[in-house]
């Protein structure tokens, strides 16, 4: 399996000539991220993870494209009919030749006046976990860890890494920070990599990583 990091929270997984894209939102600048994709997974409805117009355009170009997502996102894509599959915590399904397990239900607490929206993480082939905007703890070899967010502190990030203890952790969700913020994030990840004895780092956009 190849994991390719795109902008902000988006990744693409490729295996046996097929591809699966997770969270191609408005903050993912690469316009070709959905080219040739067989399926799309969307964790939740926030704009940095979900771009309805981009998905509709991709679905118009590829009539076989399917979208798997939580109820909160699916309501915005009703016009795509049964090409949109609603998944919930505990569901296991096949998408683009990958086995996917849905994990989690709600977004991490982010505002005292706004109830958390639906958020479902995706465990792909038992190998790599994209939690969306949540700190869902599961036993997984490869964790895509949120690197920065308005709802995330450095102690939260460190606690999540030390609790999950993955063999590999790759930081995503980094589109809101400038070059100095990137340096701070990478410093934190380097320290945790040494402490955990694991590969913990921030891949650069466009970088491809072989998993499994």
- Convert the pLDDT of each residue in 73-86 to its tens digit: 999 999 999 999 99
> Does residue 210 lie in a domain region?
no
- The answer to whether 167 and 199 are in contact (CB under 8 A) is yes
pLDDT of residue 58: 96
Task: Find all residues with CB under 8 Å of 186, minimum gap 6, and list them.
Answer: 201, 202
pLDDT of residue 143: 98
> Does residue 47 lie in a domain region?
yes
Q: Residue range 158-182: average pLDDT? A: 97
Q: Is a pLDDT exceeding 80 seen at residue 212? A: no
- The number of distinct structural domains making up the chain is 1
pLDDT of residue 104: 98
The structure's pTM equals 0.97
> Does residue 212 lie in a domain region?
no
39 CB burial (10 A radius; 0-12, 13-18, 19+): buried
> Does residue 211 lie in a domain region?
no
Q: Is a pLDDT exceeding 90 seen at residue 97? A: yes
In the chain, the percentage of residues whose pLDDT exceeds 90 is 99
> Does residue 36 lie in a domain region?
yes
pLDDT of residue 101: 98
> Does residue 144 lie in a domain region?
yes
pLDDT of residue 135: 98
pLDDT of residue 2: 98
* Residue located via tokens 């690197």: 147
First and final C-alpha spacing in the chain = 6
Q: Which domain holds residue 59?
A: 2-205
> Does residue 198 lie in a domain region?
yes
C-alpha 72/C-alpha 74 separation (Å) is 6
C-alpha 57/C-alpha 160 separation (Å) is 36
| 60: CATH | 3.60.15.10
pLDDT tens-digit readout, 57-66: 999 999 999 9
In the chain, the percentage of residues whose pLDDT exceeds 70 is 100
Task: Find all residues with CB under 8 Å of 77, minimum gap 6, and list them.
Answer: 52, 55, 56, 67, 69, 84
Q: Is a pLDDT exceeding 90 seen at residue 132? A: yes
C-alpha 168/C-alpha 26 separation (Å) is 27
pLDDT of residue 31: 86
Average pLDDT over the chain, rounded to an integer: 97
């Amino acid at each position: 399996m190849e994991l390719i990091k795109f902008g902000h929270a988006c990744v693409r997984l490729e295996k046996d000539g097929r591809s699966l894209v997770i969270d191609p939102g408005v903050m993912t600048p690469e316009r070709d991220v959905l080219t040739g994709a067989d399926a799309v997974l969307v964790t939740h409805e926030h704009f940095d993870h979900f771009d309805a117009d981009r998905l509709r355009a991709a679905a118009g170009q590829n009539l076989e494209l399917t979208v798997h997502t939580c109820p909160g996102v699916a309501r915005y894509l009703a016009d795509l009919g049964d090409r949109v599959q609603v998944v919930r915590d505990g569901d296991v399904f096949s998408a683009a030749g990958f086995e996917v397990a849905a994990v989690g239900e709600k977004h991490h607490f982010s505002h005292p006046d706004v109830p958390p929206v639906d958020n479902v993480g995706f465990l792909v082939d038992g190998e790599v976990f994209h939690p969306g905007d949540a700190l869902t703890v599961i036993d997984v070899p490869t964790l895509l860890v949120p690197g920065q967010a308005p709802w995330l502190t450095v102690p939260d990030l460190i606690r999540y890494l030390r609790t999950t203890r993955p063999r590999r952790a790759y930081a995503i969700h980094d589109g809101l920070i400038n070059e100095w913020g990137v340096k701070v994030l990478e410093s934190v990840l380097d320290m945790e990599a040494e402490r955990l004895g694991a590969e913990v780092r921030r891949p650069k956009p466009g970088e491809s990583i072989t998993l499994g």
